[in-house]
Every structure is written in structure tokens, then in C-alpha cells.
Amino acid sequence: MQKRVGVLALQGAFREHRQVLNQLGCEAVEVRKKNDLEGIHGLIIPGGESTTIGKLLQIDELGERIKEMGSKDFPIFGTCAGMILLSKTIIDSDQYRLNLMDTTVERNAFGRQVASFETDLQVPAMGSHPLRAVFIRAPYLREVAPNVGILAEFDGKIVFARQGNLLASAFHPELTPDHRVHQYFLGMIDEYWVK
């Protein structure tokens, strides 16, 4: 199946995701309004500033449409700010969110001094070779419901998780040449569309 994958392009690191998707042979569609959601097979919500993206999602109810699709098993992958927007609970914040994952997220969770760093993550679902992960003022999941699968932890903190059709990473897989995370998400798209 030739996949068309949407990348929410309101703010943040959407171009890099588009490039990875193209390298993996997919068509990438920049999503800025409700019409852009038509005909796509999955959606990536990039890193950026979750409060800004949240404000822009409320224009013309774009966020409500995405929320409706996500609640009907449509594949969505949120990275960093995207992880924050997917979570139902955001510690100490009443900012707009898509409210889809049964997760409690803490923003800017790795402290100000080491706000950005790179590390090797063990992600058993993606093989034994560690995954290089770039964290930029990253969140982490402080709590997840039993129906959420933990894909990776760093320093005892959950940084990568999946709940059915929803995937969330605290790090930026679009910034490294290893495309296993995007490939994994494309596998989720296949699961949904190729039945």
C-alpha cells in the first residue's frame, strides 16, 4: 500500500518528519486545516511548543477532528510536544490537549541544566541494537494506565509508549538517521489499513 502520512504543520519540527517519511517511500502531507486530514493513513504530531500547537489546534476545530479520528483507532504518533498533546493529564497545566492517551505527562521533565541531550535507548520492540535518541526540553510519562505499553525508559522514566493506535515518544526520532521508530509507526498504519 502506498502510504500517505499527514504531519501536523502548525509549528515545530514538521519538515524533518516529512523528510524521513519521504526517505521511507511514503507520501507526506502537511496538515494545517481539517481538509488536509482527508485521505491520509496516519498522522504525526511533531515536537515544538505544546501550548502554541494547542492554541492553533483550536482554530476551526482542527484538534476536535483529530481527536475524533484518534478515538476511532486512526494511527497517530506524537513526538515530544506531540506526546504532551496526546496525554489526558498534563501535570500543573490546563493547556489544550487532544486527550487521547491514558497517560500523565510532565513537561520539561529533565531539568533546565541538561535540557537537551542524546543517549542510547534500549527499545526491545525494535531489536537489540540500541536506538540513538535526541531529547530537547523533553517531557516524560509519569504514569500510564495498564492498557498502555511501555516501549522504553530512560533513567527510570517512561519515554516511549503505545496505546493501541497511539504512539508517543519523548524524544525526536526525526533527527537521527536511524528510522526504526518511523518504520514501526508505518507498521501500525499497515495494521489498521491492511486488514
Annotated binding residues: 48-50, 107, 136-137
Residue indicated by cell numbers 535540557: 115
- The residues with which 118 forms a beta bridge, in sequence order, are 134
Active-site annotation holder among 17, 26, 106, 172? 172
CA 183, distance to chain mean position in Å, is 13
Tell me if 157 sits within 8 A of 109, measured CB to CB: yes
Are the C-beta atoms of residues 126 and 184 closer than 8 Å to each other? Answer: yes
- Going by the annotation, the residues of the binding site for L-glutamine are 48-50, 107, 136-137
Residue 54 near ligand GLN by CB under 6 A: no
Instruction: Please report whether residue 190 would count as binding ligand GLN according to CB under 6 A.
Output: no
Q: How far is the CB of 49 from ligand GLN (least distance, A)?
A: 5
144, 44, 63, 194 alpha-carbon torsion, rounded to 10°: -90
Q: Is 19 in the site for ligand GLN (CB under 6 A)?
A: no
- Residue 1 CB, nearest approach to ligand GLN (Å): 30
Binding site for ligand GLN (CB under 6 A): 47-50, 80-81, 84, 107-108, 136-137
Residues labelled as active-site residues? 80, 172, 174
